[in-house]
Amino acid sequence: MYENKRLGLLFVLPFLLGVLGFKLFPFVMSFALSFTQYDIINPPVAIGLENYNELFNKDPLFRKSLGVTLLFVLFSVPLRVGFALFIAHVLNFKLRGINFFRSAFYLPSILGGSIAVAVLWRFIFSQNGLVNIVLIKLGMDPISWLADEHFALWTIVLLFTWQFGSAMVIFLAALQNVPQSLYEAAEIDGASKWQQFWRITVPLITPVIFFNLIMQTVHGFQEFNGPYAITEGGPLHSTYLLSLYIYDQTFKYFNLGYGAALSWVMFALVATLSGLSFWSSRYWVFYSGEKEPQR
């Protein structure tokens, strides 16, 4: 029965229609729209590369937003993935209460995207909020976290890092698959814990590190709820991520063509970064079953 090709195609049909109608068609359409001027009321007018010309050469806000986005991704993704690996490593031990800790660390990652948590963040980093109360108790000066352009982005980075749980459980599952015998052998040879971590653990879980890095980078570029609800892109556009700029251009100012061009720049960025990681993965990602790294 499982060889019945028509039956298989029938079951996969919803996905085929869905991916064509809701993913690929919009994908192509957005590309086409990026070469037009379109305000939703009048029909789109083809203007060639004008949108791209404008955003690369004449739009300082785009440059600002791009810089903020890159800074954000550059810090928040390694922080999240690194922290996830670190905590997974600490958890990967016959400890009592490991399930409790696992759930506790996982919780922020599923609540973190909500507006309610954005409210919480806005509140604990406000002028009289929890963080400043603690700073004052410690004898330090309070900081205007959300009103100072040098600090606001870091509160968003922190919010992103705080949600390391989903990457952590993936790491934990991978760590539990590393054969214990390898550590025992290394122990006998006198390898320190530190050496064991870098020489055994890390090489064996490179596929999972790779997976998490790519997925979290995609997430990082799409971060929206946090900056939208906490800082609204401010102060002085210091948290104005590309996703916010795309949203504003598209759904606030109705420069649909320009918004599409912006989103394609973001796509090109994500695709380039993923491509680079895939290319570099030949040199540092090892899948089990391979005798030696591919060249």
| Encoded tokens for 279 | 């290319």
- Give the count of alpha carbons within 13 A of 113, CB side only: 11
Closest CA to 221 of 213, 211, 229: 213
Tokens matching residue 287: 């899948």
Chain residues 148-177 in contact with other proteins, contact rule CB under 8 A: 162, 166, 169-170, 172-174, 177
User: Least distance (Å) from other proteins to the CB of residue 115?
Assistant: 5
Q: Which of 110, 140, 236, 276 binds other proteins (CB under 8 A)?
A: 110
CB of 120 to other proteins, least distance (A): 5
Gap between the Cα atoms of 243 and 220, Å rounded: 10
**Please, what is the minimum distance in Å from the beta carbon of residue 219 to other proteins?**
9
- Bridge partner residues of 46 (DSSP): 36
Per-residue tokens: 135: 């700073």
Window 187-216: residues binding other proteins (CB under 8 A) = 207-208, 211-212, 214-215
What track of x and - describes contact with other proteins for positions 224 through 243 (by CB under 8 A)?
A: xx--xx-------------x
Chosen residue from 195, 222, 280, 294 binding other proteins by CB under 8 A: 222
Quote the least distance from Cβ 245 to other proteins, whole Å. 10
| Nearest residue to 85 via CA among 210, 185, 186, 217 | 210
Quick one: tokens of 62? Answer: 């785009």
The answer for residues whose C-beta is within 8 angstroms of residue 96's C-beta and 6 or more apart is none
Instruction: Note whether 96 and 272 are within 8 A (CB).
Output: no
Q: Check binding of 52 to other proteins (CB under 8 A).
A: no
Element housing 37 (H / E): strand 36-37
55 binds other proteins (CB under 8 A): no
Judged by beta carbon, residue 3 or residue 292, the one nearer other proteins is: 3
Binder of other proteins out of 62, 145, 154, 221 (CB under 8 A): 221
The answer to the question of residue 74 lying near other proteins (CB under 8 A) is no
Q: Does 247 bind other proteins (CB under 8 A)?
A: yes
CA nearest to 255, candidates 26, 14, 59: 59
Using CB under 8 A as the binding rule, the residues of this chain from 117 to 136 that contact other proteins are: 117, 119-120, 122-124, 128-130, 133-134
